[in-house]
Amino acid sequence: MVYSQPHVYATIFALSVLKACALDSYIAAVYEHSVILSEDTKIPVSPEDALMLMNKNMDVLKGAIKAAALQGARIIVTPEDGIYGWVFTRETIYPYLEDIPDPQVNWIPCTDPDRFAPAPVQERLSCMARSNAIYVVANIGDKKPCNSSDPKCPSDGHYQYNTDVVFDSEGKLVARYHKYNLFVTETQFDYPKEPEFVTFNTSFGKFGIFTCADILFHDPAVVLVSKLQVDTVLFPTAWVNTLPLLSASQFHSAWAMGMGINFLSANTRNSSLDMTGSGIYAPNGPRAFHYNTETENGHLLVVELSSHPRLSPTYPIAVNWSSYATSIKRFSPDDRNFSGVIYFDKFTFTELTKPEGNRTVCQKDLCCHLSYRMVEKQEDEVYVLGAFDGLHVVEGEYYLQICTLLKCKSTNLKTCGQPVATAHTSFDTFSLSGTFGTSYIFPEVLLTGVQLAPGEFQVLSDGRLISQNGTSKPILTVTLFGRWYEKDPP
């Protein structure tokens, strides 16, 4: 192809405009959506009925998208399963699916709806993005026909994928991601053959996308951050809160800090499944979060973030997570340790019997050290220090190294590790560290009422998670949650 002179000028002009418009910060939005569910997901419905239900949900999302745009948001994330809900079979999800093309086709469904028709959901999402001039992130289902030329082709003749899509502010499809780490209950969907590493550039930073259980695994999550150097992760999720260590805001904000990126997490809201907890998290702490135990309503969060957090003066220092813990002697012998279970994993615990002290508890190669002082030791509350070093094997297999200070459910030590959401014991100070073999550590501090503690704790470069001045509310858990990806089974 021969380029004419004007085209070259136009390119140079476009590049300088792009540079001039590059933003140091931008406004981000996430919407926690209370999904309108189908009455019965075990009976197949017609495509018309499926679309009617999806339109009801998109009517709600439309309001949130408009409200976010009016507050200046450049991008909004909506939840996983947010348009049709959950608990489908392969057959009953089918009428909800659309064939979603590779974004390389360069398609604006809003202005060219027939090109890959039928695609009414993509068309409507694209129009919402375009008419509000905002990037829209949504989760829908993709179907891809296959046949006997592919030995893996399912017997019903197509693949079905749990899929995230992104439409830019002109309504163009710019990203399509097929969820790689399906949760065990998602039998309606197929696993993609290979993990997809989906990114896109904007004038307000580089974005990557993955969904729900993906956050526990190396591919694609860690590759997007460590190798592809995205600035912000987009995270549609339908996350069931699992205290004491894996409630949504607690773990997602910790992942943002541990990985050093912005993280936009939109959860679904459903009280009977304990689904709530959405947030906008930065590397140096949560900027906005929402945890709803009061209502079944949705909720919009809108807040400003750095476009390139790695270049920001407040970017956290590099941390050697084992430096302090390997440099000191064990505080106390493991004389009164005992076993307890957190989410199917057998921890070694030691009770904090005194109002202040220095304690160590070990399991396999991991020793966890804690120095602490309580404001006042409560007679009716028991806290323990716990260590776990091993392979988690229920609902997914992944290797963990965890140090945790937590409140037991009751004064009976057998309840240590069980979910509990309230506490009355405040700490003046704490310092938690561990002899970790991995450098992927996610620091969590969770207060009574399942509340985060932005700005109330620090991670030091030697790997200590500390609070010098205490936290604003009593403590549920203080945790260094480590993932040792190299030890995962293949």
Ligand X SMILES: *[C@@H]1O[C@H](CO)[C@@H](O)[C@H](O)[C@H]1NC(C)=O
| Interface residue list for ligand X (CB under 6 A) | 37, 87, 146-147, 149, 199-201, 206, 270, 272-273, 296, 320, 322-323, 326-327, 334, 337-339, 348, 356-358, 362, 371, 458, 468-469
Q: Output 115 or 364, the one with its CB closest to ligand X.
A: 364
What residues act catalytically?
Answer: 80, 179, 212
Q: Which residues, in sequence order, are bridge partners of residue 140?
A: 163
> 110 to each of 7, 139, 296, how far by Cα in Å?
28, 18, 32
Residue closest to ligand X, measured at CB: 334
- Start-to-end CA distance of the chain, whole Å, equals 47
DSSP strand pairing (205-209 vs 232-236): parallel
Question: Which three-class secondary structure state does DSSP give residue 102?
Answer: coil
Cis link prior to 118 (omega < 30° from 0)? yes
- Round to whole Å and give the CA distance between 437 and 431: 19
Q: Output 95 or 340, the one with its CB closest to ligand X.
A: 340
For CA atoms 458, 460, 433, 430, the dihedral sign is: negative
- Round to whole Å and give the CA distance between 445 and 467: 10
Q: Output 120 or 454, the one with its CB closest to ligand X.
A: 454
Q: Output 199 or 378, the one with its CB closest to ligand X.
A: 199
Name the minimum Å distance from CB 153 to ligand X.
8
Q: Output 201 or 293, the one with its CB closest to ligand X.
A: 201
Name the minimum Å distance from CB 273 to ligand X.
5
Q: Which residues, in sequence order, are bridge partners of residue 198?
A: none
Half-sphere exposure of 283 (CA within 13 A, CB side): 21
| Alpha carbon 79 to its chain's center | 11
Which H/E stretch holds residue 124?
A: helix 120-132
Name the minimum Å distance from CB 41 to ligand X.
8
| Alpha carbon 387 to its chain's center | 24
Name the minimum Å distance from CB 36 to ligand X.
7
Name the minimum Å distance from CB 331 to ligand X.
7
Name the minimum Å distance from CB 414 to ligand X.
13
Let me know: does 50 contact 5? Beta carbons within 8 Å. Answer: no
